[in-house]
Amino acid sequence: MASPSPQSHGPGPGPDPDPPAGPGPRRPRTGLVAAALLLFWPVGLAALSAAARAARADGAGLAGAARDASRSAHRRSWTAVGVGGGLLALRATAWVVLAVTFTSHGPGLLDQVTDRWPEPPVRQAVAAPRPDTVDPLELITGDCFLAPPDDAGWAELTEIELVPCAEEHDVVVIGVHEHEWGPYPGDDVIENDAWEACVDAYWGYMGADAPEYGNAWPWMPSQDSWLYGDRASPCLLLASHPVRGSLSDRPDLVKLDLETESA
């Protein structure tokens, strides 16, 4: 007996529908990638490259490749942010420690460094040796020499032979006055200025006021020598006879004996 044919109950179920599409790739956030570049650019560049690949794959409809590239961009971005943030924190900590250390011990540390640093050698100027003979108006303070044998010899003296003050001498230069005028101001002005300076030089050398009669006088430039640049008036102190050493300890030798002079 034939089995009954199955009854038709209407159309059967059709083919299974397509499964719902999964979520699309999540693009990396632009701010995160920018932060990665700022904080740690070596890894940030890799994150930027992965983000670019994700954008190209998404535009081409390659969902799987876009998703992988996007995940790589996120991972590398967060790695760069973590490493860069940690380095910033270390720098900030180091600056805080340095500031605290300098505030507490800075002056002492600077003093130790300064004490250990060698000072440069001090170079002292070496005075040029004085020539044996000089022009009368080229005399300087401290020069010593022997006076001419008579008063008339002073007017004819064009060169002076210097001697060490430790040897016998009867003249010492106790000061030099430099005149400051341009054109020659006249004999009276030069003489008054030179004598005033010579009196001050006597006080500085002897430690006392110049006597009314004493063997100290200035050697002044003439109008002719002024034209050749002579501007100095040396103040000379003459002793009654040659001595060795300084005349400042022998005031009796630098005063005129009026009775002897008149004789």
pLDDT of residue 39: 66
Q: Give the full edge-to-edge strand order of the sheet including 216-218.
A: 144-145, 169-178, 232-243, 216-218
What's the rounded mean pLDDT across residues 157-165?
Answer: 90
The overall average pLDDT reported for the chain is 74
pLDDT at 166 over 80: yes
What's the rounded mean pLDDT across residues 161-178?
Answer: 92
- Supply the pTM of this predicted model: 0.48
Q: Which of 25-29, 59-63, 167-171 has the highest mean pLDDT?
A: 167-171
What's the rounded mean pLDDT across residues 214-234?
Answer: 87
Q: 189-216 pLDDT, tens per residue?
A: 999 999 999 988 888 888 776 665 568 8
Do residues 173 and 236 touch, judged by C-beta distance below 8 A? yes
CA quadruple 176, 179, 184, 185: dihedral positive or negative? negative
Alpha helices of the chain — where are they, by DSSP H?
30-39, 41-59, 63-116, 152-155, 187-206, 223-227, 258-262
Q: How confident is the model at residue 178 (pLDDT cuts 50, 70, 90)?
A: very high
* Window from 42-51, 172-181, 245-254 with minimum mean pLDDT: 42-51
* HEC sequence for 183-247: CCCCHHHHHHHHHHHHHHHHHHHHCCCCCCCECEEECCCCHHHHHCCCCEEEEEEEEEEEECCCC
pLDDT of residue 168: 92
Contacts of 213 (CB under 8 A, 6+ apart): 255, 256, 258
What's the rounded mean pLDDT across residues 12-21?
Answer: 46
Q: 122-155 pLDDT, tens per residue?
A: 555 555 677 789 888 889 999 999 988 877 677 7
pLDDT of residue 128: 63
pLDDT of residue 241: 85
pLDDT at 110 over 80: no
What's the rounded mean pLDDT across residues 78-88?
Answer: 77
